[in-house]
Structure 1
Amino acid sequence: MKRTRILVLAGLLALITLSHYLVGGAQAGILHGLLGHLYILPIMVAAYWYGIKGGISVSIASSVLFSPHLFLHWRDPFLDIYNYVELFLFLFIGGVTGVLSQMERNQRLRYEEAISRLDESHRKLKEQTDVLFQTEEQLRRADRLSALGELSAGMAHEIRNPLGSIKGAVEIIKDDYAPDEAKYEFIQILLKETDRLNHIVQEFLGFARPKNPEFQFVDLNDSIDSVLTLTAQEARKAGVTVEKKLDPAVGKRSLDAGLLKQAFLNLVLNAIQAMPRGGVLTVESGLRNGAVEVKIADTGVGISEEDRKKLFSPFFTTKKNGTGLGLAITYRIIQNHRGTIDVASKRGKGATFTVTIPVS
């Protein structure tokens, strides 16, 4: 670019000089004078492109190319004065135009720097605003969890006692009927539903009274292996292929293996249930930036953006018979390990849950 501009300026000077000298001397009259004025064009262009240095340099070059007219052909004193004035104008125009161009360039740079600083300030303000919104949402979530926790604990306690009595009474009645009798089937259904209710109550209690982590040095990969063994049968029934990519470098870390098993079990079961027609479940572990990272990805139905916003809220579920507490409990377990859990998903393209837990 710079070389092209220099060639353009040199070409203009050469063309003007050649035209000026070919026209002749004083007898050429007005045309000769006008051609001399054309030197102003490359002077102004150079000043615009290169500032004061460019304007002065080209004005000096123009003066040198014009100066032979001081000694050739001129016999009229008026024309001698005119030529000296012309040289002065070249230098004057080159200097003034160069100064103005340099001032405009400096002002433009100041504007660009100011805009850049404003953009940076806007970006930082946006980041701080996002952090404030996230903090506010976390506080609201904590308030909801606290209120729901107290409510759940009271409800679970009130339900659990009569539920135990109901189950005990049904088991006693069960002994009065043979397996081939019609009422025996209804008793089995009653026991099954009682167990399901008891499981829901257990979830309520687990949510309402979360267990504090008991940190011990354990191998996280062993916990993940244990979860995959527990869910292997369900994965086979659903036609799900499990791909395991566990990094041995994770090693033993200070964690609560029992709670993390519960968290990963919830995530793996959700992933399997998201692939009713089969698919691939990928479980990865590794170290990244001083933290253990576990990814659980499926190729299932995916999660809509609207559902992702409420995914870890208590009692939110998209399952027909779900309680909406599994992911809320998982979120709390990871949070109690000073970690984070994120989800990336698109409808019809599966979902990836990423658990990050800082380790020393």
Structure 2
Amino acid sequence: MEIVFSRKHGEVMSVVVKDLLVNFLFVLLPLFIVQMFYLLKYTKQLEHLKDWIVMIFPVLSMILCMAFPAHIYEGFVIDFRRIPFILGILYGGYRFGFFLMALMLVIRSFSGGAGFHVALIIYPLLTILLSVLAKHYLQMAVKQRILLNVVLIPLLEAIFFIMVTKLLNINVPVYIQLSIVAINMGAMLIVMILWESVRKILDLLQALVKAEKLEVVSHLAASISHEVRNPLTVSRGFMQLLHEDIPANKRTDYLNIAVRELDRAVEIISDYLTYAKPEAKGSEQIDVYKEIHHAVKVITPLANMNTVQIDLQKLNHENVCVLGERKLFEQCLMNIFKNGVEAMPHGGTLEISLVYYYSTIQINIRDTGEGMTEKQIQRLGEPYFTTKEKGTGLGMMVSFNIINRMNGKMSVSSEQGKGTCFSIELPVVYK
């Protein structure tokens, strides 16, 4: 509130309610702008916004409030410029505080009037006081910060009216003084609650960004562990078979398979690109029939342990190829075969078939396990979603990603109590 020109005593506050509401909107508007930009920074991952965006609130609010004040009594105008001024210094520090003070005095000088001399005394002193408080302000609890700001308002208004009375010889009626104090206190309380809410949201967004980064690291660690476990389990199974009395040629085959799976584990650890955007690698033509047979050969020990029969009667020997990375395709098949076997802990049949449609080829992998509900099917491929007691859900996520990278698609059909069928459809390439 400042003195700018004389008016008749009879005019009262009822005529300025609309102007005060508009003025209060000028205080709230920058708050929403600040929140909007921080949300933009979070969603678009933009950098270098945080250092300057907080300046929008006090600067824009002060300019708008001083440009459109509410005329109230005897040449006085009331606005809410002190709210952004106080908050700007307490949250922005003393350097920003002196900038706000200079800006306010420059704008106020253009309005003229005797009240400028009062502002020239009050605001430098207020800036120094708030700069001292700003050093400890952010360490206070939220309730303490709100209480401090609400208490500052009546103290500042009391000092202002004392100076107006002593320096300008103008006596403002008590009911006008109390009305101004009440309006400013109410406005400060509302703004503080909103501002602290915005700050809390922004802190949560920053914490969420950190949590997402940690989650990615967690996914990578868990997925590497999950994918390496498969070849190590296979290698261990074939090595255990070497203790049995088997022909020499079988021993050589088992050793070759075990070494090959250990090599695959090493490659997964050193060059794991499934979850991140992979670097471009040279694709190759993959013989689907041969890769299915290799994956079946690898999974057979696990199937035998679970008394699961692998049915290849419908696996037609189609001499067709698809384009992709062979090792990742093997990884995908192994994940699905392993899930099918583990879905039948009490035994069953894993049926693998191959259907050729000239331009595409379809691999069908059907088990006779417990099956899944429609809701569970829709969630397949999500990290950490699994129907297994000790599963992570990462194997299926890997498989979906691999098929997508090969420009294919994977669909799932299931019926509870009867089993599940995974259908992989891939475009055919010709040699």
Which TM-score tier does this pair reach, normalised by the shorter chain?
Answer: 0.3 to 0.5
What is the TM-score with the length of structure 2 in the denominator? Answer: 0.37
Question: Larger radius of gyration, structure 1 or 2?
Answer: 1
What is the TM-score with the length of structure 1 in the denominator? Answer: 0.44
Structure (1 or 2) with the greater helix fraction: 1
